[in-house]
Structure 1
Amino acid sequence: MGAMPADHQGPAGATDVAPRSTTAANVAAANAAVKNDYDSFAEGYTAENETNLINAHYTRPAVLDLAGDVTGRRVLDAGCGAGATAAALRDRGAVVAGFDRSTKMVELARRRLGDDVDLRVADIAAPLPYPDAAFDDVVASLVLHYLEDWSAPLAELRRVLKPGGRLIVVVNHPVMLKMQHPEADYFAISKWSAEDTFGGQQAVLTFWHRPLHAMTDAFTAAGFRTSVISEPHPSPDARELFPEELAKFPSGAFMCFLFFVLEAV
């Protein structure tokens, strides 16, 4: 994604890194690799994302800021990865549960969170193993952009939320594809792939681009009202910790992800 700093979290139930555009030189390798196979690079990915800019000092702080006071609230982390966001929410008083499609990521989350947290292997693209209205909030951070069809996943997330509950969504910013590939059709829902390496393991990440109106239309159709659209700054300490990366962005903000807070109506 051009000059964007590198790294992030979550496929249809897993976790990942900010994409670096696949070039002609690595197309063959990308096609040969298993796409979005988080089990194969879970350890390396998790180690990188504990302290990096995009996860630790941008995405997670922004999600926690949008969540606000979660004391006593039941919160589901959809695509929980190794459990960093769930742990932060629990530290702030939430009663957390989480799921991920990657068995290895759920194992890592159990190491972090212990056996008293409800963690499950499940796919956001399938019916979820929770009763209706089970949660006050759901966090779906860097998950939905792995899916071509949002209707069934959003319907399931709406089902497990109480009326008036909140869904916090983080996805690839829709302008990034156009910035990286000027010839691309911004208004088309389209698939694209990127390649990266975690702990020496090659990873191919495959995403679905959709324009902003397609996102908000999908939210409305699933029974959500959009209350916040955010393009946040990184955490206050990020500029000191990552001076070279952030020197490129004098305003303090950079184009990376788009954050939503949705209300179940």
Structure 2
Amino acid sequence: MRADHYDSFAVSYARANESGLFNKYYARPAMIELAGDVRGHRVLDAGCGSGPLFEDLRAKGAIVTGFDSSPAMLELARQRLGDDADLLVADLSRPLPFANAAFDDVVVSLVLHYLQDWTAPLSELRRVLKPGGRLLLSVNHPRILESSDPSADYFSVTQYSEEYTFDDQRAVLTYWHRPLHAMSDAFTEAGFRIAVISEPPFSPSTPRELLPPDIGDRRAFICFLFFVLVAC
């Protein structure tokens, strides 16, 4: 995916996510819950988009730096967070402009599944974390591809695309499916220890009309997979 891919629909994407099920009521609450007490922590928001997670972490007392590969998304983040927010354009698939061990925590929310190669990005994220620091990340659940395409090979690293409508604007997003063992192997090879694997419930405040019609009494659904990794 081109670094500026989101530029063409940045406003629509950000607006849709402000009130959407998968971000407002699922991904962001789950990441904040996993982050816990971050007061005084130096936190890197890698792939910060329009800045909602940055905003939540800053409100919890973290000292946050954010980057994204989309200049249009970063402009929205600056409008949201103010001119004093530490934001810059950078690409996770390339060397990052930060010193070794610069951060206590790194959050990477719904970013890695866009990348075919995780080796270099995970290596860079390990480099900028202090020893014992945490990498908190979320990716598409590996069951997603199989559920949408029963003939798909779960055990392969497979590219697939899906079309979405964000605030009446169509966009095609392309992902890379990975089986769970490929994810865990990549984390270990990059120098991380898996501390948490989470398949959390959606927020109790989720409006009923946003939930899948067949959800019944269930409090969770298969969507994203969350990890807390510790830098060894």
Category of TM-score, reference length = shorter chain = over 0.9
Deviations 1:36-73 (A, max 9, x none): 82000000111111111110011000000000000000
AA paired with 2:219? Answer: G
Secondary structure in 2 matching 1:60: helix
Aligned equivalent of 1:251: 218
Larger deviation, residues 197-206 vs 48-57: 197-206
What's the offset of the Cα at 1:102?
A: 0.4
Change (3 A) 1:262 1:140: same
Counterparts of 1:46 and 1:193, CA distance in 2: 20
Aligned equivalent of 1:149: 117
Aligned equivalent of 1:261: 228
Matches within 5 A, 1:103-118: 103-118=71-86
Matches within 5 A, 1:1-265: 37-238=5-206, 241-243=207-209, 245-249=211-215, 250-265=217-232
Contact 2:156 2:178 (8 Å CA) reproduced: yes
Secondary structure in 1 matching 2:220: coil
Change (3 A) 1:12 1:75: farther
Deviations 1:182-211 (A, max 9, x none): 111100101000111223432110000010
**What is the percentage of aligned positions where both structures have the same residue?**
60
AA paired with 2:197? Answer: I
Contact 1:106 1:120 (8 Å CA) reproduced: yes
Contact 1:41 1:199 (8 Å CA) reproduced: no
Secondary structure in 2 matching 1:196: strand
Q: Where does structure 2 lack aligned partners over 5 or more consecutive residues?
A: none
Q: Where does structure 1 lack aligned partners over 5 or more consecutive residues?
A: 1-10, 14-35
AA paired with 2:80? Answer: R
Contact 1:53 1:242 (8 Å CA) reproduced: no
What's the offset of the Cα at 1:114?
A: 1.2
What's the offset of the Cα at 1:244?
A: 5.7
Counterparts of 1:252 and 1:205, CA distance in 2: 27
AA paired with 2:225? Answer: L
After TM superposition, the score normalised by the length of structure 1 is 0.84
Give me the CA root mean square deviation.
Answer: 1.4
Contact 2:21 2:210 (8 Å CA) reproduced: no
Larger deviation, residues 188-197 vs 84-93: 188-197
Deviations 1:122-165 (A, max 9, x none): 10000001111010000001000001100000000000000000
Secondary structure in 2 matching 1:50: helix
Change (3 A) 1:244 1:58: closer
Contact 1:12 1:143 (8 Å CA) reproduced: no
Change (3 A) 1:199 1:237: closer
Counterparts of 1:230 and 1:189, CA distance in 2: 21
Deviations 1:220-252 (A, max 9, x none): 0000000000000011111xx134624522221
Secondary structure in 1 matching 2:19: coil
Secondary structure in 2 matching 1:182: coil
Counterparts of 1:176 and 1:118, CA distance in 2: 34
AA paired with 1:254? Answer: F
AA paired with 2:103? Answer: F
After TM superposition, the score normalised by the length of structure 2 is 0.96
Aligned equivalent of 1:31: none
Contact 1:139 1:169 (8 Å CA) reproduced: yes
